[in-house]
């Protein structure tokens, strides 16, 4: 298998990281919803935490996405 084909296959495998980001976001927001519905008044104290967690979890998935683009571009 020549290098160009191998790097494209690698690019496809690297994009699987986005699925991990999706699962992580689902777990986080699921737990957040559980806790928020149990105790709605506590949401005011942690107003910014869900957004921060979203950014940090999404970042790891997007790193795999960027790796995929690097592999598509390389020969």
Q: Which residues bind other proteins (CB under 8 A)?
A: 48, 51-52, 54-56, 58-59, 62-63, 65-66, 69, 73
Nearer to other proteins by Cβ, of 29 and 65: the residue is 65
- Minimum CB separation of residue 69 from other proteins in Å reads 7
- The span from the CA of 18 to the CA of 38, in Å, is 30
- Minimum CB separation of residue 25 from other proteins in Å reads 13
- The span from the CA of 6 to the CA of 15, in Å, is 14
- Minimum CB separation of residue 20 from other proteins in Å reads 14
Cα 24 to Cα 21, 43, 61, distances in angstroms: 5, 21, 9
Paired tokens of 46: 């942690």
Nearer to other proteins by Cβ, of 34 and 62: the residue is 62
């Amino acid at each position: 298998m020549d290098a160009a084909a191998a790097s494209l296959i690698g690019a496809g495998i690297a994009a699987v990281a986005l699925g991990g980001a999706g699962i992580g976001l689902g777990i986080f927001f699921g737990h957040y919803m559980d806790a928020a519905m149990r105790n709605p008044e506590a949401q005011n104290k942690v107003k910014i935490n869900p957004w921060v967690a979203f950014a940090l979890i999404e970042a790891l998935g997007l790193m795999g996405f960027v790796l995929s683009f690097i592999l598509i571009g390389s020969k």
